[in-house]
Structure 1
Amino acid sequence: MRRVTPEIRAEIEQLVAEHHWLLDHGQADQLYTLYARDAVSTGPMGTMEGRDAIKSWGEKRVQVDAGLVRHFSGGTRLAFVDGVLCGTTYYMTFRDSQADPLMPASVGEFREQYVEQDGRWLIHRREIAPIFGGANAAAHAQRLAAGAKP
């Protein structure tokens, strides 16, 4: 059984942090670089299959006024399951469009699978699973899809 080394943990935690930073700082058009070629991402924003779909979504996202958003995450659990590196990371999302921006817009889990390609770890599958505030996340996704200000 393969063990999660400190080096693997550091690389995965940096991968997750970079994902949040790009999204929160208007660079969603670069998110695709963190995903495997055949990646799948699913959640309130819909399902995207393949790196090209994730790239297209990110390019559209930077064109929409999504408001000020910040993602905070931690508590990442990593384990190899049947030879696949899997992770669960808890998150909180804050948006300035909320009635009280100091209250999380949603709280949940990123359930991920990772793959090593070209000498680095990438996201192979990402499921965004809101546990609290799922209706907020879905409404935000609809506003963004419509191209409207949140």
Structure 2
Amino acid sequence: MPEVTSEIRAEIEQLVTEHHWLLDHGHADRLYTLYAEDAVSTGPLGTMDGREAVKAWGERRAKMDAGVVRHFSGGTRLAFENGVLCGTTYYMTFRDSQSDPLHPASVGEFREQYTQVDGRWLIYRREIAPIFGAANAAAHAQRIAAGEAK
């Protein structure tokens, strides 16, 4: 079984951090660059099958006023399972559109699989699993799908 080295850990943690930063700072149209061509993302936003689907979603998201959003994450567990690098990262999402923006809109896990393409780690599978605030996450996903602000 391969070992999760400190270099691999640093690369994956940077990948997850970059994902949050792009989303939180109005650059969702660049999220697709963090995904493999045949990646799949599932969660409150539905299923995005392939890098092009992530790109299309990100382009729509970047054009709307989603308000101020911040993702905080940590506690990343990485392990090779059957030769595939898998990770679970805990997250909290805050939105200024919440009735009390000081309380998280959603708390949960990113359950991911990663693949290396040309020496660079990318997201291969991503499941967004809200543990607390699932109704908030679903309502936000519906507003995004409808093209509504915040």
Give TM-score, length-normalised by structure 1. 0.99
Cross-structure match for 1:7: 7
CA deviations 1:115-147 (Å, max 9, x no partner) are 001110000000000000000000001111111
Q: Which residue number corresponds to residue 16 of structure 1?
A: 16
CA distance in 2, matches of 1:52, 1:147: 19
- 3-state SS of 2:8 partner: helix
Deviation per CA, 1:34-93: give whole Å up to 9, x if none.
Answer: 000100001111100110110010000011111110000000000000000000000000
Return the letter of the residue paired with 2:32. Answer: Y
Please state whether the residue corresponding to 1:70 is helix, strand or coil.
strand
**Counterpart of 1:112?**
112
Amino acid at match of 1:126: R
Q: Distance in 2 between matches of 1:65 and 1:106?
A: 19
- The 5-angstrom pairing of residues 72-111 of structure 1 reads 72-111=72-111
CA-to-aligned-CA distance 1:1-37 (integer Å, 9 cap, x gap): 1110000000000000000000000000000000001
Whether 1:134 aligns to 2:118 is: no
Question: Which AA in structure 2 matches 1:118?
Answer: D
What pairs with 1:44-63 in structure 2 (closer than 5 Å)? Answer: 44-63=44-63
Runs of 4+ with deviation above 6 angstroms = none
Per-residue deviation, 1:101? 0.2
Sequence identity of aligned pairs in percent?
A: 80
SS in 1 for 2:67: coil
User: Residue 12 of structure 1: SS of its match in structure 2?
Assistant: helix
CA–CA distance in structure 2, aligned partners of residues 143 and 61 of structure 1: 11
Counterpart of 2:31 in 1: which secondary structure? helix
Unaligned runs of at least 5 residues, structure 2: none
The aligned counterpart of 1:122 is 122
**For the residues of structure 2 that align with 1:148 and 1:42, how far apart are their CA atoms?**
21
Aligned residue-pair number: 150
Structure 2 counterpart of 1:114, one-letter code? Y
After TM superposition, the score normalised by the length of structure 2 is: 0.99
Shift of 1:105: 0.1
